[in-house]
Amino acid sequence: MNGAAGFKLASYNTHGAVGRDGRRDVGRIAGVLEELDADLVALQEVDSRHGDFDMLGELARLTGLTPIAGPTLIHHQGNYGNAILTRAPILAVRLLDLSVEGREPRGAIDADLGLPGGPLRVLATHLGLRPAERRYQVQRLLAALAGPPSTPAVLMGDLNEWFLWGQPSRWLHAHFALSPAPPTFPARFPLFALDRIWARPNRMLREVRTHRSPLARAASDHLPVTAVIPAHAES
């Protein structure tokens, strides 16, 4: 882990490793992850449906990070969906179904990780395209987080919220407090803060920024968003 510098988080929609040039190149995604040097990365659109190829397994091999799979589409060719890569010990994993009938299946990974100062709960997700979907999905996520906030928690992912004042965003502000929202989409000239990191308690979240390297601009249609929290997580 990054130790005295804190525990570094990142969220990254990989677009199935298809870059702005239309080529599928998991090596570029791995290169961006190496640039990030994060202790935990929430990944979206991890796609292994194209031939005999395990995208998450290959990213884990190339980065040396431990994977957690959260597929939302399962096919005989391979799976598609969310994932986590982390340096931290994995204490528990739960998968939440956030699907809405008639729409693309959605879900979230709900994991407990071991940090030096105690456990950290991480929810990694990719929400739907329609406002009604996102309202339902954010309510489900907040219900999962209900109860005494004894364990520090972060919510990360592509929330697909184009407007910071939308109702799901207001609900998240009420639960987590307002958090920075640097733009991440589109990668070439980011205008929209689709990719977010929230924390509870909010005071532990710092250094929230978009990773804007030339490789990141080429590797996917989204840029990663990063943040740092204390390695000795606060309650």
pTM across the whole model? 0.94
User: How many domains in the chain?
Assistant: 1
C-alpha span between 208 and 224 (Å, rounded): 11
Q: What is the mean pLDDT of residues 176-194?
A: 95
Residue 234 lies in a domain: no
Residue 35 lies in a domain: yes
pLDDT tens-digit readout, 13-53: 999 999 999 999 999 999 999 999 999 999 999 998 876 77
C-alpha span between 49 and 31 (Å, rounded): 21
- pLDDT greater than 90 at residue 203: yes
Residue 3: the pLDDT is 52
pLDDT tens-digit readout, 151-183: 899 999 999 998 777 888 899 999 999 899 999
Residue 119 lies in a domain: yes
Residue 63: the pLDDT is 97
Q: Give the whole-number percent of the chain exceeding pLDDT 90.
A: 83
DSSP-assigned beta bridge partners for residue 96: 108
CA 114 to chain CA centroid, nearest Å: 18
Residue 235 lies in a domain: no
What is the domain extent for residue 142? Answer: 3-229
Residue 131 sits in a domain of what CATH number? 3.60.10.10
